């Protein structure tokens, strides 16, 4: 038996220093009885916004699960169904 599992999905951030995954929780966010991911990125700065004075906005991403039990793979910007920017 292999002690290491191969991930079926890989979600990442192309934004430097976003700290994506600082907090991760799973639950049924949209009520479809399928597990969804909520992923925190406390120092995320959205595209087009300027990080001034060392302040970063932060963001929470919601990635909806699928009936197959897998999550979309890729950059969190495209994988996430919902993005909430924190100010």
Written as tens digits, the pLDDT of the chain (87 aa) is: 455 556 677 888 888 888 999 999 999 988 999 888 899 998 887 766 665 555 667 888 888 888 777 788 888 888 776 676 665
What's the confidence (pLDDT) of residue 40? 92
What's the confidence (pLDDT) of residue 24? 93
What's the confidence (pLDDT) of residue 23? 94
Nearest-angstrom CA–CA distance, 19 and 58: 9
pTM of the predicted model as reported, rounded to 2 decimal places: 0.76
> Which among 51, 40, 50 has a CA at the least distance from the CA of 11?
40
């Amino acid at each position: 038996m292999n002690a290491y599992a191969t991930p079926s999905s890989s979600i990442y951030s192309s934004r430097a220093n976003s700290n994506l995954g600082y907090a991760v929780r799973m639950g049924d966010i949209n009520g479809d009885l399928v597990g969804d991911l909520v992923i925190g990125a406390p120092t995320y700065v959205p595209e087009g916004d300027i990080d001034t004075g060392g302040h970063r906005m932060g963001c929470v991403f919601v990635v909806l699960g699928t009936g197959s039990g897998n999550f979309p793979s890729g950059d969190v910007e495209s994988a996430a169904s919902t993005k909430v920017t924190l100010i």
